[in-house]
Amino acid sequence: MGNQDICWMSAVDIVRAIREKKLSPVEVVNAILERIETVNPRINAYVTLTAESALAEAKQAEEALMKDEKLGPLHGVPVSIKDLIYTKDVRTTMGSKLLEDFIPEEDAVLVTRLKEAGAIMMGKTNTPEFGLKILTDNMIFGITRNPWNLGRAPGGSSGGAAAAVASGLGPLAAGNDGGGSIRIPSSCCGVFGIKPQFGRVPRYPVFHGMDVLTHEGPITRTVGDAALMLDVMAGDHWGDMYSIPAPSISFAESLKGGVKGLRIAWSPDLGYAEVDPEVLSICERAAKEFSRMGAEVEEANPGFDNPETFYSQIIVADQVAAMAPFGPTDEIVGELDPVTSTILYVGADMKAVDYARALFDRQELAVKLGKFFQNYDLLITPTLAFPPPPVDYEDAAGFLKWLPFILVYNLTGRPAASVPAGWTEDGLPVGLQIAGKPYDEETVFRAAAAFEEASPWARRKPPLD
């Protein structure tokens, strides 16, 4: 099997091939490393490569295979870790000059679980500073580019993760999502990403900021790979007071069954969004596909206003508190991204009562969405309102126009995924967002898998070769 073929295999297929001894972990890691060497300079998805340790772990995995030892569910499968997630003895910068030399003393829980399952960490992927914008660039590593068009952004803040997966630089990527940071880049890069139920994947240890909004989750090319990966990462942990148990059924087992009989609401704009006509057309076609597959689909809106104002208040307050240990803003501003410094200056005048009102608004939003879901199993919308932004887009306030469908699920904690709905005439990916009831990733996965079967996307590759 050629290296190119290996790089485009799904994790599910890699696991099967390794277990059947048709493929070795060393072959897999070498193939991915070779492709990273060739492709990564063009897109800048990986910012720290752990090639030496990856090869050592691959050799150990091969020895375990030859000895017929018990193998984990991800034995020998390469995985990348976003640079916001702690990795023991591997630099974790958060995309910030303030943490340029930070090396954690322990892995995040999700990293530990991936390693224990046999996954092999290839390195860290790029992120904007503290994950605070939908472009992926920072003052340490520079810009990450969209593999479908190098003049476009891959989204953020898990832009490096999604760009790597879309480019064949590994089938699995760990990202996180405090305001769309898994779903945005998944949409921009034409891959699958799911923000599971809040707390489903523990966050510990962690750099504080957006603690009440951030979800950890997978970015992959296929739905099956994400389910396999989330099965490994999910489950409560003492280090995260918000963490919740894994469900009784594995996510990988929930993919079959289709959507026949499901009640699905389709909303083109949630009643308030401005949406690009081509994006809307692509997503409308995708919504009709669910009807063709047997679901009961009707157009409906939940009846709430755009939550961006009180979402922003929560983000600003959290970030000001998280950054306080670094010192006064005026003393560190030269080392900060303009978006970060703007947030800190704006947040300096926020009152506790304003933050409390934002939390009240959040609860009211959850109630309205909860009532709406009494009549529906899923709500589908475009993931983003516009195609991927230019890689040098500078309007910090303008980022919000991409996100009218995104923030509601960080505020309410519900599971939501982005699946590739299609491509524009210019060859840019467009995502469809599938959101479910609380704690019901199972139905989101099942619907995503059915759509993937009806409209497969993983065989389409960006024009990099």
Judge whether 166 and 141 are in contact, CB under 8 Å: no
Q: Which residues pair with 210 in a beta bridge?
A: none
Q: Which residues pair with 435 in a beta bridge?
A: 379, 416
Give the number of other Cβ atoms within 10 Å of residue 41's Cβ. Answer: 9
Which phi and psi (to 5°) does residue 77 adopt?
Answer: -90, 130
What one-character-per-residue DSSP string does 210-252 give? STTT-EEEEEESSHHHHHHHHHHH-S--TT-TT--PPPSS-SG
Pull the structure tokens for residue 258.
């289709």
Helix pair 223-233, 109-116: axis angle to 10 deg: 110
Beta pairing class for 296-299 and 215-220: unpaired
SS3 state of residue 172: strand
What is the spatial distance between Cα 13 and Cα 6, in angstroms, rounded to a whole number? 10
What is the spatial distance between Cα 362 and Cα 420, in angstroms, rounded to a whole number? 29
Closest CA to 229 of 220, 237, 238: 220
Contacts of 262 (CB under 8 A, 6+ apart): 290, 295, 296, 377, 378, 443, 447
Q: Is 181 a catalytic residue?
A: yes
Which phi and psi (to 5°) does residue 271 adopt?
Answer: 90, -5
Q: Which of 96, 158, 181, 254 is catalytic?
A: 181
Q: Which of 10, 24, 80, 82 is catalytic?
A: 82
Q: Is 97 a catalytic residue?
A: no
Contacts of 9 (CB under 8 A, 6+ apart): 17, 171
Which residue shows structure tokens 């017929």? Answer: 68
Q: Which residues pair with 195 in a beta bridge?
A: 416
Pull the structure tokens for residue 133.
């914008």
Q: Which of 10, 24, 157, 187 is catalytic?
A: 157
Q: Is 157 a catalytic residue?
A: yes
Compute the Cα dihedral for 81, 84, 85, 90 and give only its sign: positive
Q: How many CA atoms lie within 13 A of 228 on its CB side?
A: 25
Q: Which residues pair with 422 in a beta bridge?
A: 430
What is the spatial distance between Cα 452 and Cα 436, in angstroms, rounded to a whole number? 17
SS3 state of residue 121: strand
Q: Which residues are catalytic?
A: 82, 157, 181
